[in-house]
Structure 1
Amino acid sequence: MSVKVTIYEVALAARVSLATVSRVLNNPEKVKPDTRERVLKVIKELGYRPNAIARGLASRKTTTVGVLVSDITRASVAEMLGGISDIAMKYSYSIKLFSAHEDVNILELINDIVAEQVDGVLILNDELDINRMKKVQELFDENEIPFVLANVVYEDKSVPSVSIDYEKAGYEITKLMLESGRKDIYMLSTVRKYSVNDKKELGYTKAMQEANLMPRIFRTSGTTSVNRQHFANFFADKIIDGAIGVRDSIAVSFMNIANETGRNVPEMVSVAGFQNTKYALLSRPTLTSIDIPVYDIGAVAMRLLTKLMNKEQLDSLQVVLPHYIVRRESL
């Protein structure tokens, strides 16, 4: 009695992922020729016979876009998804959302995304370090799946992306605070690493050093219940007359602590944030913030991905959208 060969055995023998074997069977034109030939050779040698019904289901032609996010609860992510969704609806695309929590194996998740037979991917996850980003890039390239980074900073200029110039934005908001007479300015950043925050910190540091002042970066949690206590403890005995939060929510959280402890904003401490979300308008005093067109970033990224999926000619792989400072009562 013969033993039935599984797709797992084929993937192992061919040294590829399950997703790649699936693509060879269902969408061979999307697999690099040398990889495709290697998989087909193993299939023949092992005598693998795929389930005909499964193949028929998997090979149905749909236009599906995978969207990879890190934290869907962030206000900026929700707004960006709005831009993505509106353009996707225009082209009758289906969207599959994939969430990469802190403890998720990102490479396994990417393999799952590939196995879903998506036609393209938007990456909104700005927590991927350079090494993991390279692995992600290799997996998508191997399976010939176009992808676009949306509001994610990555130094490889061959990777399509849509964002703003975060370093410039960090520099400009710091310069504005310096010009208002502040000197002991802290940047309130996050313990968790985000590619865009690294750039904000670079811009802040550049402006402070140009003014011959010591850059001071304080790292805390994005969770309000945690960072409020951090701010209350850390700044109890610190001299500070300016604070720039890498998110509006962090800036407002600090501003509340400052006001509650007698450091009135903006009389004694100027405060500013990034993103220009609803928090900036609801805070008291209202918050000065960098306006980041996150809806437009999502919409433009979806348009760019559409061109890549249709193999259309591109004017540029790197799209940098404009930003501006909305000055309110806190500065």
Structure 2
Amino acid sequence: MEKQTITIYDVAREANVSMATVSRVVNGNPNVKAATRRRVLDVIDRLDYRPNAVARGLASKKTTTVGVIIPDVTNMFFSSLARGIDDVASMYKYNIILANSDENNQKEVQVVNTLLAKQVDGLIYMGRSISDDLRSEFARSKTPVVLAGSVDPDEQLASVNIDYVAAVQGATKQLLDAGNKKIALVTGPLSEPISGQYRLRGYKQALDGAGIAYDESLVFETEYSYQAGLAVFKQIQKAGATAALISDDEMAVGVLNAALDAGVRVPDDFQIITSNNTKLTQMTRPQLTSLDQPLYDIGAVAMRLLTKLMNKEGIDEITVRLGFDITERQTTK
């Protein structure tokens, strides 16, 4: 037998109240007598009534859903950001639709269109770069967008991140101060703004400050994966580097394990600083020294910023930079 859809009208009739009263109870409006509220809630329970989010959205022009576009749902960097987003969304009574874009430009545009077709009130984007196609989709839709842990070099879109230039400069300087002259920078594609513009600039500034010439053979572009880290270590060794600054924790674990497998002593012969301070950094032996960017907070602040944009509240600054630190562990001296 097909399940009958229970409507707000059925609840009102059974509880012997107006539909407006049922609506007030469902939305937590305090202007309802306690006895009436109890009666309505009992009927809702008995009939198993669930408010229709779509219908509510049509009435209020809001669906109270937010689309979150995540490049790789298996990477701890993004899942840590997503936790912060989700907690603040729940606090402000928004539901989240999570969409995986596989770090693929075409799929990103497709995912954005799918989310917009679901009438989301706002979007949070965590991709590592913004293609022109994606930028024009964002502009056309008029839906508020916030970047989390990502940057817009043109500063047209709201974003929450850290000062990547200063972070990489500080980490590189620490490796230089420890006596390393040849430091590898292991990163994703330099076509991505964070890697190509900000990380590279911080790295060059630190070398410059120490009077060391920049050597592009010490910069390695690779995928953000454990396998890529394993594979790139041989090239790092061949280039004569005695230390590496690595832009992803999974990649760093790969480099560390390849070094240990090759009989290299870490940190005595080779030092490593990774970038995201996810749980992985404490699971390795030796444990990984890492830049510590507040991933949960970046997600939480991005979601709060989005609620302000969706409600057309005033905003002082669309680019929000949070603080960072370096957490010392056992892969540096």
Gap change, CA 1:308 and 1:182, over 3 Å in 2:
same
In structure 1, the residue corresponding to 2:298 is in which secondary structure? helix
Equivalent of residue 118 in structure 1, options 99, 106, 120: 120
Residue type matched to 1:202 in 2?
R
SS for the counterpart of 2:184 is strand
Alignment of 1:176-187 (within 5 A): 176-187=174-185
Rounded Cα–Cα distance in structure 2 between residues aligned with 1:221 and 1:227: 8
Counterpart in the other structure of 2:161: 163
Classify the secondary structure of the residue corresponding to 1:186. Answer: strand
Structure 1: distance between partners of 2:264 and 2:110:
48
The alpha carbon displacement at 1:56 in A equals: 6.3
Deviation at 1:108, TM superposition (A): 3.3
Work out whether residues 150 and 162 of structure 1, in 8 Å CA contact, stay in contact via their aligned partners in 2. Answer: yes
- Report what 2:5 is aligned to: none
| Alpha-carbon distance between aligned partners in 2 of 1:320 and 1:186, rounded to the nearest angstrom | 26
Cross-structure match for 2:232: 230
The amino acid across from 1:206 in the alignment is: Q
In the alignment, the residues of structure 1 paired with residue 182 and residue 191 of structure 2 have an alpha-carbon distance, to the nearest angstrom, of 24
Q: Which amino acid aligns with 1:209?
A: D
1:2-151 mapped onto 2 (5 Å cutoff): 59-61=58-60, 62-103=63-104, 104-129=106-131, 131-140=132-141, 144-151=142-149
Task: Give the Å deviation of 1:204.
Answer: 1.0
Kept in 1, the 8 Å contact 2:226–2:253? The answer is no
What's the CA shift string for 1:114-162, capped at 9, x where partnerless?
Answer: 2111111111112324x2343233223xxx2111111111122342111
Report sequence identity in percent.
33
Gaps of 5+ in 1: 1-54
Name the counterpart of 1:202.
201
Of stretches 112-121 and 201-210 in structure 1, the one that deviates more from structure 2 is 201-210
1:280-327, Cα deviation, whole Å (9 max, x unpaired): 111111111000111001100111110111111112211100000111
- Alpha-carbon distance in 1 for matches of 2:59, 2:190: 40
2:275 is paired with a residue of what secondary structure? strand
Distance 1:80 1:108 in 2: 22
Aligned amino acid, residue 326 of structure 2: I
Native 8 Å contact 2:229 2:253 kept in 1 = no
Pairwise mapping of residues 234-253 of structure 1 onto structure 2 (< 5 A)? 234-253=235-254
Kept in 1: contact 2:153–2:193 (CA 8 A): no
Specify the alignment match of 1:292 in structure 2.
293
CA contact (8 A) 2:72 2:103 kept: no
> Counterpart in 2 of 1:152?
150
**1:261 CA drift (Å):** 1.5
Kindly tell me: are residues 242 and 84 of structure 1, through their superposed partners in 2, closer, same or farther at Cα, counting changes over 3 Å?
A: same
| Partner amino acid, structure 2, of 1:132 | D
Aligned partners of 1:237 and 1:318: how far apart in 2?
Answer: 40
The residue type paired with residue 143 of structure 2 is: I
Larger radius of gyration: 2
Give the residue type in structure 1 aligned to 2:309.
L
Residue 60 of structure 1 deviates from its aligned partner by 5.0
Residue 63 of structure 1 and its aligned partner are, at CA, apart by: 0.8
Q: What letter corresponds to residue 75 of structure 1 in structure 2?
A: M
Counterpart-to-counterpart distance in 1, 2:328 and 2:167: 14
Please, what TM-score do these two structures have when normalized by structure 2? 0.76
Code of the residue aligned with 1:151 in structure 2: it is G
Which residue of the partner structure matches residue 12 of structure 2? none
Against the structure 1 CA distance between its residues 145 and 278, is the aligned structure 2 distance closer, same or farther, given a 3 Å change threshold?
same
Q: Runs ≥4 in structure 1, deviation > 6 angstroms?
A: 55-58
Alignment check: 8 A CA contact 1:110 1:139 kept = no
CA spacing shift, 1:238–1:317, aligned 2, 3 Å? closer
Instruction: State the 1:191 CA deviation.
Output: 4.0
Compare 297-306 and 102-111 and name the one that shifted more. Answer: 102-111
Change (3 A) 1:192 1:238: closer
Query: Residue type matched to 1:122 in 2?
Result: I
SS at match of 1:271: strand
Structure 2: which amino acid aligns with 1:179?
D
Question: SS of 1:59's equivalent?
Answer: helix
Cα distance, 1:58 vs. partner?
Answer: 7.1
Whichever residue aligns with residue 319 of structure 1, its letter is V
Letter in 2 for 1:317: I
User: Number of paired residues?
Assistant: 272
Which residue pairs with 1:45 in the alignment? none
What corresponds to 1:323 in structure 2?
Answer: 324
**Greater displacement, 104-113 / 279-288:** 104-113
Deviation at 1:278, TM superposition (A): 1.3
